[in-house]
Structure 1
């Protein structure tokens, strides 16, 4: 193995390692890359299939024209033979044989082209199904990724002790805060209620003391 081959293999190994890391880090991004490449290939195959259909049509037209010309020259050869026109007869007969040979070749070519087109169309349909499966696979992966992200966000809120750092807000912390707030409000209410009772009691005592003092 020469130096160039060793360098090529090293570069390809690095590329494969990078692709593996990229796939592990972001599989959706890598799948999108594969999808774009597959779409391009399917588009190319679509053009080739259309071109093959066009060629098959041309083969069919050429074969029909050759068959018609062979039949025409056969009639002209018969006419020239009956009229005693030997040179015309020989020309028409030679042309007839050439057109028949061409028609036979075109018939064989056309039949082979039809078989090739049928195989191409089947493979093209398979490629489209594969591409559709890749689209569906991407949707599945996106759904799973979305669920993972949603669960992570929910866990940050619901779990008191998250992994990888303290969360900013958690439901249990909020509940504890609300509970402390309720206790504080209740205590303030009870305190104010007691103060109000003391105030009423003091007023009542003052009223009782005033008549007694008058007596």
Structure 2
């Protein structure tokens, strides 16, 4: 049963990897956008943890300052108690000095660890921000390549006559239309000239008739 579950898990992982590989091949820009969004979210969360770590470091330093002040105070009191010779006060003051000294040592160690961890977090945080900037540059490069690829594809479709209407077909259509317009213009011109001849002939005929009528009278 365990082997069957393991085989199913590995098969599912393989299917998911295959799905994302195909998705990346199909639309690498969209997948990169998703990566950038996820990276920005993770970086934002890391920034919050870094700020929290810085705040913890400040609180530890505040505790150390308070402890150092109390240790100094108890050491002075221990000196006074020792000078008074009162055993119970000496014991109490010594216990306080020991407690604050132990706390101070612990706080110093914690601050050192916290500072080292803060530095490491800060270094990785800066690295993450640089990675995001690099990915955004890559995003712009991919978008540029995608635009160029689409533009070439559209132009190739037109140039290679892969669309319903090509440049050559349009050119032939325009030439045919121009020829028809020229012929219509020629017909119109001929008709106009013929009409002018007819009008001229009619005018000559009318004038001849008028002249003949005048002679008869």
Q: TM (normalized to structure 1)?
A: 0.87
Paired residues for 1:5-154 under 5 Å: 5-154=6-155
- List alignment gaps of at least 5 residues for structure 2: none
| Highest RCO, 1 vs 2 (Cα 8 Å, sep ≥ 6) | 2
Aligned to 1:192: 188
Q: Which moved more, 1:134-143 or 1:187-196?
A: 134-143
Aligned to 1:159: 159
The question of whether the paired residues in 2 share the 8 Å contact of 1:160 and 1:173 is answered with no
Counterpart CA distance in 2 for 1:171 and 1:26 is 31
| Secondary structure of the structure 2 residue equivalent to 1:39 | helix
Counterpart CA distance in 1 for 2:126 and 2:88 is 56
Provide the aligned C-alpha RMSD in A: 2.2
Larger radius of gyration: 2
Counterpart CA distance in 1 for 2:204 and 2:64 is 131
Deviation at 1:36, TM superposition (A): 2.5
Aligned counterpart in structure 2 of residue 179 of structure 1, from 175, 180, 183: 175
Counterpart CA distance in 2 for 1:140 and 1:147 is 11
* Count of residues in Structure 1 that have an aligned counterpart in Structure 2: 210
Counterpart CA distance in 1 for 2:5 and 2:202 is 111
Counterpart CA distance in 1 for 2:28 and 2:101 is 61
Aligned to 1:205: 201
Q: Which moved more, 1:116-125 or 1:35-44?
A: 35-44
The question of whether the paired residues in 2 share the 8 Å contact of 1:80 and 1:89 is answered with yes
Counterpart CA distance in 1 for 2:204 and 2:106 is 134
Deviations 1:142-188 (A, max 9, x none): 222222223333344x42522xxxx2443443333222222211111
